[in-house]
């Protein structure tokens, strides 16, 4: 009876979690799709002007802005995170590991507003001095997001690398490989599924980040012509204007959330397809 009761408890908890996701999807699409129909799918998704006062609701600059900063964050965070994970798993001395491991975990617990404040008072002035302009740009945002996704990539990648059986490493050494070659050409490729999973989580963190992006991106609803121009992401667009939006403007912001939701689903599906095509 106890086992049956606990089985029902677990089933109810799982169903409740699924229902929460379904209700969120229902709310977003039920409130967002009518606005897309009113504005026009092409005008909404491909429009280059976002001017609510003139009834212009084109989110193409925000879509491109989200893609640009997410790609930049992966370019910054992925190599650094994977190499750090390899170091932590096979090169780091035990004494140093006791210090570095909690430090990396601490990075994951820092609020995003703190990262944004660091970018605002340190990185933005540095970028202003080195590259000119206001300093609030796509490049600055990408670096901040790359730092923010590091703990996720390092933690998950390290766990994946450590999960590879030791006989892979021992076999490589027996064939004459050095320690470095055994790690980078045997252990890392064997852990590719876990490393790819860490990148998926990193992309989700980067594309969904809001507060840090608002503080360093410049929040200009235009397509940046260079990495040192300001931009606006989908999440920032929602947060900046939802507080005072009404009528069609508010519906357009909810539609932006629906587009962001679909965007994340597409990215996850592409990563899953890529993962399935990688030979084990």
Mean pLDDT, to the nearest integer, of 25-53? 89
Mean pLDDT (the chain) is 89
* CA-angle at 161, arms to 156 and 166, nearest 5°: 150
Asked if pLDDT for residue 280 goes beyond 60, the answer is no
pLDDT, one tens digit per residue, over 35-47 is 899 898 899 999 8
List phi, psi (to 5°) of 277. Answer: -90, -15
Asked if pLDDT for residue 267 goes beyond 70, the answer is yes
Asked if pLDDT for residue 200 goes beyond 90, the answer is no
Mean pLDDT, to the nearest integer, of 137-148? 93
Give the span between the Cα atoms of 260 and 237, in whole angstroms: 11
Please give the pLDDT value at position 97: 92
Q: Which residues pair with 51 in a beta bridge?
A: 56
Binning pLDDT at 50, 70 and 90, where does residue 132 land?
A: confident
Considering only CA atoms, give the Rg of the chain.
Answer: 22
Please give the pLDDT value at position 146: 93
Whose CA is closest to 135, among 120, 113, 150?
A: 120
- The share of the chain scoring above pLDDT 70, in percent, equals 98
Please give the pLDDT value at position 14: 92
Mean pLDDT, to the nearest integer, of 142-168? 92
Q: What's the CATH architecture for 2-277?
A: Orthogonal Bundle (1.10)
User: Mind giving me the DSSP string for the chain?
Assistant: -HHHHHHHHHHHHHHHHHHHHHHHHHHHHHHHHHHHHHH-HHHHHH---EEGGGTEE--HHHHHHHHHHHHHHHHHHHHHHHHHHHHHHHT--HHHHHHHHHHHHHHHHS-HHHHHHHIIIIIHHHHHHHH-S-S-SHHHHHHHHHHHTHHHHHHHHHHHHHTS-HHHHHHHHHTT--HHHHIIIIIHHHTHHHHHHHHHHHHHHHHH--HHHHHHSB--SS--SSTTS-B--HHHHHHHHHTT--HHHHHHHHHHHHHHHHHHHHHHHHHHHHHHHS--
- Do residues 194 and 280 make contact, with C-beta atoms less than 8 angstroms apart? no
Q: Which residues pair with 50 in a beta bridge?
A: 57
pLDDT, one tens digit per residue, over 78-117 is 999 999 999 999 999 999 999 999 999 888 888 889 999 9
Mean pLDDT, to the nearest integer, of 178-186? 90
Tokens 């252990």 correspond to what residue?
187
Binning pLDDT at 50, 70 and 90, where does residue 32 land?
A: confident
Mean pLDDT, to the nearest integer, of 235-239? 91
| Residue 245 exposed, middle or buried by CB count within 10 Å (0-12, 13-18, 19+) | middle
Residue 181, C-beta contacts closer than 8 angstroms, at least 6 positions apart? 172
Please give the pLDDT value at position 151: 92
Please give the pLDDT value at position 141: 93
What is the dihedral angle through the alpha carbons of 192, 195, 200, 204, rounded to the nearest 10 degrees? Answer: 180
């Amino acid at each position: 009876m106890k086992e049956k009761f606990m089985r029902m408890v677990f089933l109810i908890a799982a169903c409740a979690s699924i229902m929460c996701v379904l209700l969120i999807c229902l709310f977003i699409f039920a409130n967002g799709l009518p606005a897309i129909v009113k504005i026009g799918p092409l005008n909404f998704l491909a429009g280059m002007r976002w001017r609510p006062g003139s009834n212009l609701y084109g989110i193409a600059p925000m879509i491109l802005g989200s893609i640009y900063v997410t790609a930049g964050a992966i370019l910054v965070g992925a190599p650094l995170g994977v190499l750090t994970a390899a170091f932590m798993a096979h090169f780091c001395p035990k004494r140093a590991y006791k210090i570095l491991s909690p430090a990396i975990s601490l990075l994951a617990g820092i609020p995003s507003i703190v990262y944004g404040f660091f970018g605002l008072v340190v990185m933005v002035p540095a970028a202003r001095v080195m590259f000119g302009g206001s300093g609030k740009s796509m490049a600055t945002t990408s670096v901040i997001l790359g730092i923010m996704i590091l703990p996720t990539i390092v933690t998950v990648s390290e766990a994946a690398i450590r999960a590879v059986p030791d006989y892979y490493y021992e076999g490589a050494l027996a064939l004459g490989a050095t320690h470095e070659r055994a790690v980078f050409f045997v252990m890392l490729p064997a852990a590719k599924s876990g490393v790819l999973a860490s990148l998926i989580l990193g992309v989700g963190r980067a594309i969904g980040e809001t507060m840090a992006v608002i503080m360093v991106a410049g929040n200009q609803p235009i397509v940046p012509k260079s990495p040192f121009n300001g931009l606006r992401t989908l999440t920032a667009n929602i947060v900046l204007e939802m507080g005072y939006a009404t009528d069609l403007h508010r519906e357009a912001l909810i539609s932006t959330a629906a587009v962001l939701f679909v965007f994340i689903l597409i990215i996850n599906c592409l990563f899953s397809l890529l993962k399935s095509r990688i030979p084990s």
